[in-house]
Amino acid sequence: MSDGETIRVDFKSVLGKFSLQANFAAPARGVTALFGPSGCGKTTVLRCIAGLTRVEDGLCIVAGDVWQDPGGAFLPTHKRPLGYVFQEASLFAHLSVRRNLMFGAPRGKARTRKGKIAFDEVVELLGVTALLDRAPGKLSGGERQRVAIGRALLSQPKLLLMDEPLSALDRATKDEILPFLERLRDRLSLPIIYITHSIAEVERLADQIVLIEKGRVIGAGPLEELQSDPSLPLAVARDAAVTLDGVIAAHDSGYGLLTLTIRGGSLIVPAPPAAVGGRRRIRVIAGDVSLAREKPGLSSILNVLPARIVSAKPVGDQELVAVLTLGADETGARLLSRLTRKSWEALGFTEGMSVYAQVKAVALAPGRGELE
Amino acid sequence: MRLTAFVAALSAVLASFATPVEADQTHVAVAANFTEPAKEIAALFKQKTGHEAVLIFGASGAFFTQITHSAPFEVFLSADSDRPKAAIDGGFAVADSLFTYAIGKLVLWSRVVDVTDGEAALKAGNFQKLSIANPVAAPYGTAAVETMKALGVYDALTPKIVQGNSIAQAFQFIDTRNAELGFVALSQLHRVTEGTRWEVPPNLYSPIRQDAVLLKTGADSEASKAFLAFLKGSEARAIIEQFGYALE
Amino acid sequence: MPPEIWVPIRLTIELAAITTLTLLIVATPLAWWLARSRAAWKEAVAAIVSLPMVLPPTVLGFYLLILLGPDGPGGAIASLWGARTLAFTFTGLVIGSIVSSMPFVVQPIRNAFAAIGDRPLEVAATLRASPRRAFWTVAFPLASPGLLTGAVLGFAHTVGEFGVILMIGGNIPGRTRVMSTAIFDFVETMRWREANMLAGGMVVFAFAVILSMILLEKRFARAGA
C-alpha cells in the first residue's frame, strides 16, 4: 500500500510502570480494531495517535501527512483532522445537542466544501433528529453516545478514533447502537480505529485487527488470519472462534437452510431464505468442531468437511487447539478445533494429516449476517 | 486595637487565676501612648515595693467600654481626662482617686520638611499631606485641630489632612513618609533622632491631661493603691518627664 | 440622607465595584494557571495568594503603607502626576482592596476550573478548538458559577474591609472615608443613630448578597446537570 493509503504508527515510551512499544500499520480505509485485555495500552496508543498524550519518541503518519515524527515534529491535537469518541460521551453540559453537534464543524469559508459529511445525513444516520434541542443532561446513555459520534463526524475528520464507545452501555443499548456503527462504516469512506475488548464487536465491525498485550503489538492483520494463528491469544482463548465470509450457493426453504460456499468447502447454515449470490458472515466456534480420521457414517451433523491439520497447540494440560485448513491444499479457509489430549493421542492425529472436520453448529455472525 | 486589648485582658484574668491571690498584683489599663514610661515605672515599682503591676496597653476608648462591662482592671491610666471622669460618674471608679499623671505635649514632626519653625512651615503649606490622629478618637487629634485653628491655617490645610485612627497610626504615616509631616505626641519621639520637630506652644491648644483613676474593682487592693501612690511620687515623675510629658 | 451617610456608601460601592472588576480580570488567568499547571512551585504561588486571608489587617496594612509610599513602587507611580504617595487616595484603596480580597476571588474560580477536569478540554481539542477557543467556549462557560461566586465574595469582602483601609486610607471624607471607617467614627463619637443606619444597612446588604449567591448557584447547578 502506498503512503497515502496507510496509517503508520510507532510509539515507544515508558509511562509509569508501563512500557509502550506499539508499532503497526493500518489501512486508511475501513475499521481497524485495537484489541486486547484491559490495561494493555490500547487507550494510550489511541491517545498518542490523537496527540492527547505526547510521547517523545513517536511516529504517526496518516495517509501521507506527518502528525508526529521522532525528529521532533508534533502536530497539536486541534490541528489534526480527526474525530475522537471517548468511552463516556462527554458532551458539553452547557450546550444543547445541536450546538454540541456543530461544535467542531468548520465555520466560514470552509463550510461549503464539497464531499463533506452533512449535518442532515449524520443526524439521520444516528437517529438523533428528535433530540436536537434537548440538553445533554436529559439524554439516556445510548443517546448521548450517538450524539458524541455525530459530533465527531461533523468535524469532518479524515480519521475517526473510537475508544470502547460501547463499553459503558448496557447490553440493550449496545445492541441498539451497533447497527448505527455498521451503517457508519458502510456509508462513509472514513478509516476508523476502534478500541474494544469485546471480540463480538470486533467480529461485527472490523476488517483488520491489531492485537495488543502489555503495551506491545503482538499481531496485526485481517481478522481471519489472526483468529487462526496459534501463536496469538485469540486462538487459544476459551471462546475461540473463526469468522468466515461466504457466498450463498443455494437455499432450502423447506428446511430453512442456506448453503454457503467458503474457500475450500461449503457450510450449511440455518437461516431465512435469501437470494443466491448474496454474501454472509458466519462464525464457527472451536469447541463446536471435532475431528474424525475417517468420513463418519450416519450422523446428525450436517457439516462434515475434508480438511488438513496445519498445526496443533496445547492449551493447558489436557487440551489442544488444532488449526485446520479446509479442502486439499493450503489455500482453504481456516478453522479451529478444540479437542482433548486423550482424543488427540488415542486417534493418533498429527500435523499435516488429512482429516474430516465435523462442524456441529454454524451461526450467522450476529447483525453482520447481511453483508450488503 | 480593641481586639488586642480584649485578648490581653482575658489572658490577664486567666493568669491571675493561676497565681494565689495575695493582693500583691494589680491590673493596670494603660493608654497606648504611655507604654514605654509605664513599663519603666512598673519595673521600679516592683523593685521598691515588691508589688507587681500587670500592664495592659490599648486605646482609652476601648478600655472605657470594657470597664463599663466589668473588665477586671483595677487601675485606669487614660489618654484623656474625659473617660476617667465618665468612669467616676458611672460609678465604676473611686471619686477622690482621680489625678492627672501626665500632661501630653503636642509636637509637629517631619522627616521630609524642615519644621523647626513649625508655624512658618504650616503657613507656607509646602507639603501634600499632613497627618493627625482622628480627633474623634484621640485627644492629640483634637489638640492638633485646635492648634491649626489657633494659627489660622486650619481651613487652608483641611484638604491636606489625613487621619490615623490612633496617635500610633498618625505616627506611622509620618514615619513611612506617606505624609510629609504631622502632629504626634512628644513621648512618641522619645528615641527618635530623624527629622525635625516643633514643640507646639501649650497656649495654642487645650492641655491634654492624662488622668489616672482607681477603679471600683481595685478599691480594696493594696497593690492598686500603692501603684497610684507611686505614680505620684518623685521617682515616677522623673521618668514621666524624661519621656516627654509635662507634669502638674 | 445627609452626605456624611450617603457619601461613604457611594465610595464603598465604587470601591467594591472597581476592585471586583479588576480582580476578575486579574484572578481568572491566575486561577486558570493554578488549576491546570503542573509546575512544581505552583502551590507556593497559591500559598502566597492566600496570605491576605490569614494575615492580620494590621500586618497587611503596614506593608501596603510602605509599598504605596514614597519609598515604594506606589510613590514612583504617584510621582507621574506630582503626588508623593498612593496612600490616602482612592487608587491606593483599590490596590489595598485588591490585595486583601484576592484570595476570595481566586479560590472559587480555581476550584471551578479544576472541577472541569481535562476531558472537556480534550474533547474540544479533538473538535479543532485551539487552546484559546477551548478556554472561551468550554472552560469559561462551565466555570461561570465559580466566577460568579468569586465576584460576589470579592465584592462583599471589599465592602466589609476595615483594617486595611484604616491603615492606608487616612479617613478623608469623600475620598477614603468608606462605610466601615465611617461607622467606626460614629461609634467613637457615640452617634448611635448614624452608626446603626450604616451598620444596619451593611447587614441587610450582606444578607441579600449571600442569599442571592446561594440561589443563583442552585439555579446554575440545576441547569448544568
Cα B164 to Cα A55, A319, B75, C176, distances in angstroms: 61, 95, 27, 12
Nearest-neighbour CA in chain C from A66: distance (Å): 17
pLDDT at position B18, please?
56
Residues of B in contact with C185 (CB under 8 A): 134, 136-137
**Rounded average pLDDT over A294-314:** 90
User: Using alpha carbons only, what angle is made at residue C145 by residues C109 and C147, rounded to the nearest 5 degrees?
Assistant: 35
Q: What is the dihedral of CA C19, C22, C25, C30, to 10 degrees?
A: -70
For residue C16 the three cell numbers come to 467594591
Report pLDDT for A127.
87
Min Cα–Cα distance to chain C from B204, Å: 24
Region A170-192: mean pLDDT is 85
Q: Does residue A176 lie within any of the structural domains? A: yes
Give the bridge partners for A162, in sequence order: A85, A194
Q: What is the CA radius of gyration of chain B?
A: 19
Q: Is A306 left (phi over 0), alpha (psi -120 to 50) or beta?
A: beta
CA distance B15 to B21: 11
Contact C188 B176 (CB under 8 A): no
B77 neighbors B30 (Cβ within 8 angstroms): yes
pTM score, whole prediction:
0.79
**CATH number for the domain including A188?**
3.40.50.300
Specify if A300 maps to a domain.
yes
Residue carrying C-alpha cell 446554575: C220
Measured between CB atoms, does A104 come within 8 Å of chain C? yes
- The domain spanning residue A360 has which CATH number? 2.40.50.100
C68 vs B contacts (CB less than 8 Å): 178
Residue extents of the structural domains in chain B? 2-103+208-242, 106-199
Considering the domain B106-199 in this protein, what is its CATH number? 3.40.190.10
Residues in C touching B137 (Cβ below 8 Å): 185, 188
Minimum distance, in Å, between the CA of residue A126 and any CA atom of chain C: 18
A200 and A329 co-located in one domain = no
Same domain, yes or no, for A220 and A285? Answer: no
Q: Do C141 and A52 touch (CB under 8 A)?
A: no
Q: Quick one: residue A73, left, alpha or beta (phi over 0 = left, psi -120 to 50 = alpha)?
A: beta
Number of folded domains that form chain A: 2
* Domain housing A351: 241-245+279-364
With CA atoms as reference, report the closest residue to B212 among B225, B202, B197: B225
| Residues A35 and A120 occupy one common structural domain | yes
Task: Give the length of chain A.
Answer: 372
- Does residue A151 sit within a domain? yes
- The residues on C that touch B, with CB distances below 8 Å, are 62, 65-66, 68-71, 83-85, 87-88, 166-167, 170-172, 181, 184-185, 188-189
CA distance B172 to B183: 11
Can you name the residues that pair with B56 across neighbouring β-strands? B29
Chain C contact present for A50, CB below 8 A: yes
**CB burial of residue C211 (10 Å; 0-12, 13-18, 19+):** exposed
Residue A101: strand, helix, or coil: helix
pLDDT tens digits for range B181-205: 999 999 889 888 899 999 999 999 9
Residue A369 has pLDDT above 50, yes or no: no
Q: Minimal Cα–Cα distance from A18 to chain C, Å?
A: 21
Q: What is the pLDDT of residues A194-215, one digit of tens each?
A: 999 888 888 888 889 999 988 8
| DSSP, residue by residue, C143-156 | HHHHHHHHHHHHHH
Decide if B147 contacts B112 (C-beta within 8 A): no
CB C8 within 8 A of CB C197: no
What's the pLDDT score for residue C208? 87
CA B189 to chain CA centroid, Å, is 13
B177 has a chain C CB within 8 A of its CB:
yes
Query: CATH number, domain at C220?
Result: 1.10.3720.10
pLDDT in tens, chain B (248 residues): 678 778 777 777 776 665 545 558 999 999 888 988 999 999 999 999 989 999 998 888 888 888 988 888 999 999 889 899 999 999 999 999 999 999 999 999 999 999 999 999 999 999 999 999 988 878 899 999 999 999 999 999 999 999 998 888 899 999 999 999 999 999 889 888 899 999 999 999 999 999 999 999 988 889 999 999 999 999 999 999 999 899 98
- Residue A233 within a domain: no
CB contact under 8 A, B173 and C188: no
Question: Binning pLDDT at 50, 70 and 90, where does residue A18 land?
Answer: confident
Q: Does residue A251 form part of some domain?
A: no
Please give the interface size between A and C, counted as residue pairs whose CB atoms are below 8 Å apart.
59
* Mean pLDDT (whole number) for A48-61: 91
| pLDDT confidence of residue A372 | 40
**Taking a contact as any Cβ pair under 8 Å apart, which residues of chain A between 115 and 154 contact chain C?**
135, 137, 151-152
Answer yes or no: do C71 and B177 touch at CB < 8 A. Answer: yes
Structural domain containing residue C75: 3-224
Mean pLDDT of chain A: 87
Identify the pLDDT of residue A371.
47
Q: CB C138 to CB A90 under 8 A?
A: no
- Residue C73 CB coordination number (10 Å): 12
- Whether A236 is in a domain gets the answer no
A290, A301 contact by CB (below 8 A) = no
Cβ distance C87 to B178 less than 8 Å, yes or no, reads: yes
pLDDT band at A110 (very low <50, low <70, confident <90, very high): low
How many domains, chain C? 1
Nearest to C224 by CA among C143, C152, C147, C109: C143
Do residues C166 and C23 make contact, with C-beta atoms less than 8 angstroms apart? no
Nearest residue of B to residue C189 by CA position?
Answer: B136
- Looking only at the bridges linking them, the beta strands covering B196-199 and B106-110 are antiparallel
Please name the residue of chain B whose CA is at the shortest distance from the CA of residue C89: B162
In a shared domain, residues A164 and A32: yes
CB contact under 8 A, A82 and C134: no
pLDDT of residue C221: 67
Average pLDDT over residues A96-115: 80
Grid cell 478618637 is found at B137
CA proximity to A140, closest of A161, A163, A120, A170: A170
Model confidence at C213, in pLDDT bands (50, 70, 90)? confident
Q: Which chains touch B (3 or more CB pairs under 8 A)?
A: C
* Same domain? A147 vs A65: yes
pLDDT of residue C1: 79
pLDDT, one tens digit per residue, over B7-45 is 777 777 776 665 545 558 999 999 888 988 999 999 999
- CB contact (8 A) between residue A82 and residue C126: yes
Alpha-carbon Rg for chain C in angstroms? 20
Please give the DSSP secondary-structure letter assigned to residue A11: E
pLDDT at C102 over 50: yes
Angle at A313 between CA A311 and CA A316, to 5 degrees: 165
Give the percent of chain A with pLDDT over 90. 44
CATH code, residues B2-103+208-242: 3.40.190.10
* Residue C134: pLDDT over 70: yes
Kindly tell me if the per-residue pLDDT of A336 is higher than 90.
yes
Q: How far apart are CA A353 and CA A89, in angstroms?
A: 52
A256: in domain: no
Identify the residue among C127, C130, C144 best suited for mutation to test binding to A, counting A beta carbons within 10 A and taking the highest: C127
Mean pLDDT of chain C: 90
Mean pLDDT of C162-186: 88
Q: How confident is the model at residue A92 (pLDDT cuts 50, 70, 90)?
A: very high
Q: Which residue of C has its CA nearest to B161?
A: C172
Strand partners of residue B107: B184, B199
Residues C139-149 have a mean pLDDT of 92
Let me know whether A220 and A326 are in one domain: no
Give the pLDDT score at A313: 92
User: C138 and chain A: CB distance < 8 Å anywhere?
Assistant: yes
- Backbone conformation region of residue B195, classed left if phi is above 0, alpha if psi is from -120 to 50, else beta: left
Phi, psi of B30 (to 5 degrees): -115, 130
C225 touches chain A (CB under 8 A): yes
Task: Count CA atoms within 13 Å of residue A365 on its CB side.
Answer: 24
The angle, 0 to 180 degrees and rounded to 10, between the axes of the packed helices C90-116 and C140-160 is: 150
- Per-residue pLDDT, averaged over A77-100, amounts to 94
The pLDDT score that the predictor gives to residue A178 is 86
Set of cell numbers at residue C163? 483594617
Rounded CA-CA distance B40/B239 in Å is 8
